[in-house]
Amino acid sequence: CMNYMFPASYAWGNFSVLAVGIWAIVQRDSLDAITMFLTGLLLTVLTDIIHISVFYPPTNHLTDTKRFSIGMAIFSLLLKPVSCYLVYRMYQERGGE
């Protein structure tokens, strides 16, 4: 559904952070992986806000697909601070300062 609303940079940014997150989960002893994942999450919070605010369509042009796409993007954005907190706790457990 992202194809209807956002440019490819939105998907590439979020999927690349997902890939780094999988790497951080698989390598439990790597502090660099969890640091990159936390940094990527924080950066995608900023870019998601920019994407949603710039590409939000006028209200008279909202189809059901666009409304669903926007809703999922906002829901993802609302969950990212919780994810950042949990990843930060993992960072501290792995010996981060």
> What average pLDDT score do residues 1-12 get?
78
Which residues 6+ apart lie within 8 Å of 9 measured at CB? Answer: 47, 51
The reply to whether 68 falls in a domain is yes
The reply to whether 4 falls in a domain is no
**Structural domain harbouring 92:** 29-55+63-96
- HSE-up of residue 31 (Cα within 13 Å, Cβ side): 6
In total, how many domains does the chain have?
A: 1
The reply to whether 50 falls in a domain is yes
Q: Which residue has the higher pLDDT, 53 or 95?
A: 53
Segment (H or E) for 88: helix 64-93
pLDDT at 2: 63
The reply to whether 1 falls in a domain is no
pLDDT at 3: 64
Q: What is the pTM of this model?
A: 0.84
> What average pLDDT score do residues 37-42 get?
95
pLDDT at 56: 83
Q: What confidence tens digit (pLDDT) does each residue in 42-64 have?
A: 999 999 999 989 988 777 778 88
